[in-house]
Amino acid sequence: MRKSTSSLVSALALAALLAPGAAFAADTPEKRPEGTKEEIAKQTPKAQEFVMHAVQDGMAEVTLGHLADTKGAHVEVKAFGRKMAEDHAKANEELTELANGKGIPAPAAPAPKHQALFERLNRLAGVEFDRAYMQAMVSDHDNAISAFRKFAEEGDDAELKAWAKKTLPTLEEHERHAKDVAVQIGAIDRSAGVAY
């Protein structure tokens, strides 16, 4: 009787080890941060940096989009500006709400580089404005896509990673649209892939 009990225990232990995913389940519990939202936020430095840059970039897209809608000479530039203002305002609202729920503060103003770009574009008019704005939009969206992809793969907050991944197709569509308009108005040469 004793021998059969130990054989049964050994067989059950072996079955448990061979079950899919069971081998290390006890050794790898999901680690959840503990503490207040502010304490938890300090445990996610990549998320904090991502939120700061994404919100600042988004604010800049909204402001520059309104500027393009007002100052743009070409109908496609104006329409693109309106689209950027609408889409980035919505994305910023989503991201800010998500970040606030995690105790990650969202910046209240664009970065100085965005202010400098606004001032430079605001001094331009007509075709000169259109070309400079669309070149900036192609470059900005190239950079945003790279940052969002990196955070979606390497970020330290699962919800923010999912949001970045969900938002990427919109940014990619913006980039395609920006390149199409930029080629149409002579701001970039599609074959060379560089600005004039």
Secondary structure in 3-state letters for 89-136 = HHHHHHHHHHHHHCCCCCCCCCCHHHHHHHHHHHCCCHHHHHHHHHHH
Domain chopping of the chain, boundaries = 45-189
Q: What values do phi and psi take at 188, rounded to 5? A: -140, 160
Comparing 122 with 36, the larger pLDDT belongs to: 122
User: Which candidate, 118, 167, 171, 162, places its Cα nearest to that of 140?
Assistant: 171
CATH class for the region spanning 45-189: mainly alpha
pTM: 0.77
Confidence (pLDDT) at 39: 57
Instruction: Quickly state the pLDDT bin for 36 (edges 50, 70, 90).
Output: low
Does position 58 have pLDDT exceeding 50, yes or no? yes
The dihedral of CA 121, 124, 130, 136: what is its sign? negative
User: Which candidate, 76, 54, 48, places its Cα nearest to that of 157?
Assistant: 48
Does position 17 have pLDDT exceeding 60, yes or no? no
Comparing 91 with 27, the larger pLDDT belongs to: 91
Residue-wise pLDDT tens digits, 72-129: 999 999 999 999 999 999 999 999 999 999 999 999 998 999 999 999 999 999 999 9
Check if the beta carbon of residue 155 is closer than 8 Å to that of residue 79.
Answer: no
* Strand boundaries in the chain, DSSP class E: 188-189, 194-195
